[in-house]
Structure 1
């Protein structure tokens, strides 16, 4: 292809005005625009304006789609709202996430955030209940006295009986 050569691409726009307000409004606007173009005196100027219009619309839509397909769909569907202003549309798209993330992970992330928000009050209640239990445990029973060696105390009579028995067995000489 030589430098500066024009390449023609035919694109079709399939609209269903009976099913979509955006499609109906787009069709009405395109018809009104086309009628205003056909009232021009110069055929060459009209053709040039039509080509420039189509090029700008297609390229702008393609760029928006490449940047964020969800945002592109939102803007396209907003065409059905007749009283929408540029300021209102910009306000709507400002909170839109500016990442390549798919809508499913974003919805999942929102669900997780909601679950965490619901768990926070429960966690605070549990923390408060634990503190109350600790306070109640401290006031209800004094701590047990510590034993010096950490060994269990055994009654002397319990140890003495087996020792005497062992001494009798030794005297008999079995060992």
Structure 2
């Protein structure tokens, strides 16, 4: 009796698998069209916006910074606007530096350089922001995206 139940279960599973296989493989041209138009048949990968990828935005922003004639590069990087930039660069006392910052995307961010703590708006419209830094005291650079902003921020500190 146990042998018959096991065999019936196997036959049932095989029949179900065959039906699923045939259903997936026998759609005609009308079925293909419906599958392409049906939102339920879309792949389960996360949807992304129609805008450029983070990698492309980063490459564009870094290319702008690379084209700027400046001094010797001390520190540089690129971050998502949503992550922001938070760094305490090691700068030599008495030297002057220039911070170059650019945001590619949408919305804006806010730049704060301590110890001055003056807030500077950073539009994510590919505008270059430059700020002079002096290393009389330890410097902290924070860039925080505003609500709803997206894209990439690239930055570079040059000794001038």
Which TM-score applies when normalising by structure 2? 0.24
More strand by share: 2
1 or 2 for the larger relative contact order (CA 8 Å, sep ≥6)? 2
More helix by share: 1
Which TM-score applies when normalising by structure 1? 0.23
